[in-house]
């Protein structure tokens, strides 16, 4: 289950995207958020990984 909240960031000439996804903990069942700053072409790969 992924929450797609994407914000665009720019550093110099390279364009980056901050992706946030919600991950369910197997022990407690609680949800946590995992954030990563990735290239815009890799956002779908990041969100599809478990």
Q: How many domains does the chain have?
A: 1
Largest CA distance in the chain: 42
Q: Which domain holds residue 22?
A: 5-48
* Residue 23 neighbours by CB under 8 Å, 6+ apart: 1, 31, 32, 33, 34, 50
* Number of Cβ atoms within 10 Å of the Cβ of 19: 23
Side-chain half-sphere CA neighbours of 11 within 13 A:
6
As a whole number of angstroms, the distance between CA 2 and CA 12 comes to 29
Backbone angles phi, psi at 5, to 5 degrees: -125, 110
Q: What is the pTM of this model?
A: 0.59
What pLDDT, in 10s, does the model give residues 1-50? 566 666 666 656 578 889 999 999 889 999 999 999 988 888 889 888 86
């Amino acid at each position: 289950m992924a929450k797609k909240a994407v914000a665009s960031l720019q550093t110099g000439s390279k364009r980056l995207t901050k992706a946030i996804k919600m991950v369910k903990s197997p022990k407690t069942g609680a949800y946590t958020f995992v954030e990563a700053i990735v290239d815009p072409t890799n956002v779908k790969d990041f969100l599809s990984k478990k």
